[in-house]
Amino acid sequence: MARLNSVIGALEAGQHAFAAFVPPEPAAARDFATVDYDGLVFEAEHKPWDAANLRDSLQYLLDRRRILESGTLAASPTPLVRVPVNGAELGQWHAKQALDLGAYGIVWPHISRVEEARNAVAACRYPRLPDAARYEPAGIRGDAPAAAARYWGLSTQDYYAKADVWPLDPDGEILVVIQIEDQLGIENLPAILEQVPGIGLVLIGEGDLSQELGVPRQLEHPLLERARNRIVATCLEHGVAVGHPHVTAGNAEQVIGEGYRFLMTAPVRSHPGLDRGRALTGRG
């Protein structure tokens, strides 16, 4: 069976994966349903958490014609969810609800310590008896698979077989993404990647990291650049893909050259008719 998670599919094949943040709103999901991103991250950290709205957004992301023409059951783009809680809060229930609705992965903000990363992976796994090396981190996700199995187009038993984290389970279709957003996280990142299997992607949190460094949103500042480089070097050393959250047409070549493999690009909205009309009427 082809990969259901297109982001995992791209990373597993050694390719670059492309994604964007979108609000968890049906109108936004519909707009992105035919765009060639590999994944979409529904942003629930800085947007209100509304499980019903997220459920509807997941449904509006499905384009029946696109699924038919692709010849697979995979949602395209693959929906991920960034949950509200910081790592130190050891949250679990937002991830549980997002996965139960059908999300293919969770983005965890502000992961700074090994125990926070371990909690992030465990919250995305069902409990399993310790019958293999893949047992740790032991799963703590509660059992309510009906909606997720329906969304994935699988029977419940087939969903159970696929609903584990990659690459800890090579056949898993759930992606655990941790965000490194502070100096403590950078210092602990080697230990996190050595001690916590199941992290599929590290995403740099430039906004919060720049705040801590005293250069808020100065994305090209040397202090932030050095911090980013440390994260990238650690990820490359441990064979874990690293993501850049602010890829533009202007910096894409540099970002790719630096080793980023998960590229988040924001769509650009333009108003050519308005701009031309204002120019012609002297209001430009």
Digit-coded pLDDT (tens) for 148-164 = 999 999 999 999 999 99
| Tokens 């012609």 -> residue | 280
Task: Tell me, yes or no, if the pTM score tops 0.85.
Answer: yes
Other Cβ atoms closer than 10 A to 75: 26
What's the domain count of the chain? 1
In a domain, 230, yes or no: yes
Secondary structure class of 18 (helix, strand, coil) = strand
**Kindly report the CA angle at 270 between 264 and 273, in degrees rounded to 5?**
165
pLDDT digits (tens, 9 = 90+) for 161-197: 999 999 999 999 999 999 999 999 999 999 999 999 9
Residues sharing a CB contact under 8 Å with residue 220, sequence separation 6 or more, in sequence order: none
Q: Which range has the worst mean pLDDT, 7-11, 60-64, 118-122?
A: 60-64
In a domain, 35, yes or no: yes
Is 99:124 a contact under the CB 8 Å cutoff? yes
Query: How far is residue 33's CA from residue 40's CA, in Å, rounded to a whole number?
Result: 10
In a domain, 1, yes or no: no
- Tell me if the bond preceding 222 is cis, omega within 30° of 0: no
Name the phi and psi angles at 176, rounded to 5: -100, 120
Q: Which domain holds residue 98?
A: 6-280
Is the pLDDT reported for residue 221 higher than 70? yes
CATH of residue 144's domain is 3.20.20.60
In a domain, 267, yes or no: yes
In a domain, 200, yes or no: yes
Query: How far is residue 258's CA from residue 281's CA, in Å, rounded to a whole number?
Result: 46
Element (H, E) at 36: none
The pLDDT mean for the chain works out to 95
Is 61:29 a contact under the CB 8 Å cutoff? yes
Question: What pLDDT is attached to residue 128?
Answer: 81
